[in-house]
Structure 1
């Protein structure tokens, strides 16, 4: 790295750190002290929380960012304010404690789960009729309570029909501890495999969806790779893998897929080319493209994704309150509903009900309007779905218009 590049990287690190610190300002510590209250009108989300973090002696924190010696389980219930008092896609953090459950997210109860057998009992009691389980793996720079409250928000807002389980690994929640966090994901692979195998071995469980965000996608895919190498394939019950803003080296991801093999779960990626967190990750990781920042309509990614049968949902044009554009999957009402209503159910996101994204809140961006109706659809929808079927439909439209997908995409991105 040259001396001219280094200052730019440092400025980006400092700026990103200031954004993160600003977003956390005013939050009280100890939000996981249980209140035992669920007033009328609030919703309650029950989570099974698994962690490789070390326990904390601080009340209401429960677990720190250091590494623990074993997998720990907790049954945590979170109350969420009435819909009239909150914005979908947002976590309403209390400004002081005790939290006001009519306005804030609040911890109702925290119960230890003492064994894997007790974890299976929790699954049995919390499985819906669909018999689905959703396992969420958080990303870089997350405290224990950050991960718990964010997942509670996703579960509530997506209205997912699955038993919610979260795996939280040791993150020091510091913008300057990227390397420590990355090694903590490696430290946690065996524990995540243990958790997944416990779910797979529970007879009542029918199917499992894994959803991972940011650096957590490395942990999730590496664990699946490990399971496939050990057993010859990923267990059949693991049917869906959703990678949101994946902080994955694209070359490494290709190798991981080869190791997992062709008989694998269905992969869905949420990407955004304006993801500023991944821009920084790319710079400090050898300047190799990060999977969550690719242009899925451009080569060589278009052909690779089509060959592998991977669905990609491009959120580049979608606007959200996330200043780093790294958490769009959780903050957009349209996206969290898509996750809950279709992806976790194993349904396609390319049929006529979703189409090219018009029903997910298309807005005119004022580009390529003279190219033709098909081109306008591509650049005006904030959520564009790219998978083999949709891309073939695009190709047919471009041929009829006498234009290529690549030319239109380049025009849209350039503006």
Structure 2
């Protein structure tokens, strides 16, 4: 079951935004009518982005939210997905009036006073599992939440999903800012993982791009600080196009005990976004475009190479969810 969850959610990558207006969460409160065939997907939120204002709307309507907050806050947002939805896409309103029949919109939201109230509201189901998604570089809050809602809906999962929304600048020029925000957010991600462990949850972690760095740093610091028992409930980790230095990853992995299994890497040597990251950092490649996978020998890691998959986004950074062939591959992996 864990491997099924991992493979079904591997397509939770976030596209690096290009030109044009960025997506925002549109809140259209009110109950559905009998004629409304929109589906509703709940996304739970843990965030250390600075929240302006009070009440649930102040949390769920955060747009870029690049300002950092030393206090971790919790919420829930119910996303309406239109009946015209195309799998793999997010139907943004753009400059048009938002219409639940055509666009992703938020139906309602809740802001929790503390972690206990947050955890108590997450359905437990038969296994107590949750899927925790950690977004990557240049992602605003709306993009992280809507993408996770789309993936959960498309793969018809009944497992509750949580978005850890760390303070990315949501700006293509903010690479260094985002790397610093990863360091800032480690303690908050640890706080969330410790809470999930105490609550008896089995957690599957999915991280995209720079979010992989945040996950590895957090697991490492938990292990070396004597909190390894909290790593045991982690039911699996998937790093999607991870923007991590290969040498750093090996050091991180060797200090994590117990090492989560299954542990999956989705990589591509044609990932242009990671090629740019390699240029910025002065290295020949990043972990998500690793050129010598034998370097990972000895680690209990499964590598899924999408280098030969055609289609998808032009940068090759989101092949996992934009290329039909990649989606079919992930679906085939699920039952094994």
Distance 1:197 1:32 in 2: 32
Aligned counterpart in structure 1 of residue 278 of structure 2, from 279, 282, 293: 282
Q: Give secondary structure in 1 for the equivalent of 2:66.
A: strand
Q: Give secondary structure in 2 for the equivalent of 1:231.
A: coil
Aligned counterpart in structure 1 of residue 162 of structure 2, from 153, 162, 165: 165
Structure-2 residue corresponding to 1:114: 113
Structure-2 residue corresponding to 1:309: 300
From the CA coordinates, give the structure whose radius of gyration is larger.
1
**C-alpha contact (below 8 Å) 1:212/1:220 kept by paired residues:** yes
Instruction: Give me the TM-score of the superposition, normalised by structure 2.
Output: 0.85
- Going from structure 1 to structure 2, the CA distance change for 1:66 and 1:326 (only over 3 Å counts) comes to same
Matches within 5 A, 1:104-183: 104-123=103-122, 126-183=123-180
- Going from structure 1 to structure 2, the CA distance change for 1:274 and 1:263 (only over 3 Å counts) comes to closer
Instruction: Choose 60-69 or 270-279, whichever is displaced more.
Output: 60-69
Q: Give secondary structure in 2 for the equivalent of 1:167.
A: strand
**C-alpha contact (below 8 Å) 2:23/2:142 kept by paired residues:** no
Structure-1 residue corresponding to 2:264: 268
Pair 1:94 & 2:99 matched: no
Distance 1:306 1:159 in 2: 35
**C-alpha contact (below 8 Å) 1:160/1:340 kept by paired residues:** no
Instruction: Give me the TM-score of the superposition, normalised by structure 1.
Output: 0.70
- Going from structure 1 to structure 2, the CA distance change for 1:273 and 1:238 (only over 3 Å counts) comes to same
Structure-2 residue corresponding to 1:33: 27
- Going from structure 1 to structure 2, the CA distance change for 1:211 and 1:113 (only over 3 Å counts) comes to same
Structure 1 position 122, deviation (Å): 1.6
Distance 1:209 1:339 in 2: 16
Structure 1 position 35, deviation (Å): 2.7
- Going from structure 1 to structure 2, the CA distance change for 1:319 and 1:43 (only over 3 Å counts) comes to farther
Pair 1:324 & 2:315 matched: yes
Structure 1 position 160, deviation (Å): 2.7
**C-alpha contact (below 8 Å) 2:253/2:259 kept by paired residues:** no
Distance 1:273 1:50 in 2: 33
Tell which has more relative contact order, 1 or 2 (C-alpha 8 A, sep 6+): 2
**C-alpha contact (below 8 Å) 1:130/1:161 kept by paired residues:** no
Distance 2:312 2:30 in 1: 31
Distance 1:86 1:135 in 2: 24
Distance 1:321 1:101 in 2: 27
**C-alpha contact (below 8 Å) 1:32/1:62 kept by paired residues:** no
Aligned counterpart in structure 1 of residue 213 of structure 2, from 218, 223, 226: 218
Q: Which runs of 5+ in 1 are unaligned?
A: 1-18, 349-415
**C-alpha contact (below 8 Å) 2:309/2:326 kept by paired residues:** no
Q: Give secondary structure in 1 for the equivalent of 2:281.
A: coil
- Going from structure 1 to structure 2, the CA distance change for 1:48 and 1:334 (only over 3 Å counts) comes to farther
Distance 2:79 2:332 in 1: 22
Q: Which runs of 5+ in 2 are unaligned?
A: 1-15
Structure 1 position 263, deviation (Å): 4.2
Structure-1 residue corresponding to 2:5: none
Structure-2 residue corresponding to 1:61: 61
- Going from structure 1 to structure 2, the CA distance change for 1:338 and 1:134 (only over 3 Å counts) comes to farther
Instruction: Choose 333-342 or 184-193, whichever is displaced more.
Output: 333-342
Aligned counterpart in structure 1 of residue 222 of structure 2, from 202, 218, 227: 227
Distance 2:143 2:309 in 1: 24
Structure 1 position 232, deviation (Å): 5.9
Aligned counterpart in structure 1 of residue 238 of structure 2, from 238, 242, 261: 242
What RMSD over aligned residues (CA atoms) do the two structures have, in Å?
2.4
Instruction: Choose 59-68 or 216-225, whichever is displaced more.
Output: 59-68
Number of aligned pairs?
Answer: 313
Structure 1 position 308, deviation (Å): 1.1
Structure-2 residue corresponding to 1:294: 290
Structure-1 residue corresponding to 2:185: 188
Distance 2:192 2:97 in 1: 33
Distance 1:148 1:340 in 2: 22
Structure-1 residue corresponding to 2:12: none
Distance 1:291 1:235 in 2: 23
Structure 1 position 336, deviation (Å): 5.5
Instruction: Choose 316-325 or 69-78, whichever is displaced more.
Output: 316-325
Distance 2:103 2:45 in 1: 21
Structure-2 residue corresponding to 1:373: none
Distance 1:148 1:219 in 2: 18
- Going from structure 1 to structure 2, the CA distance change for 1:128 and 1:329 (only over 3 Å counts) comes to farther
Distance 2:162 2:168 in 1: 18
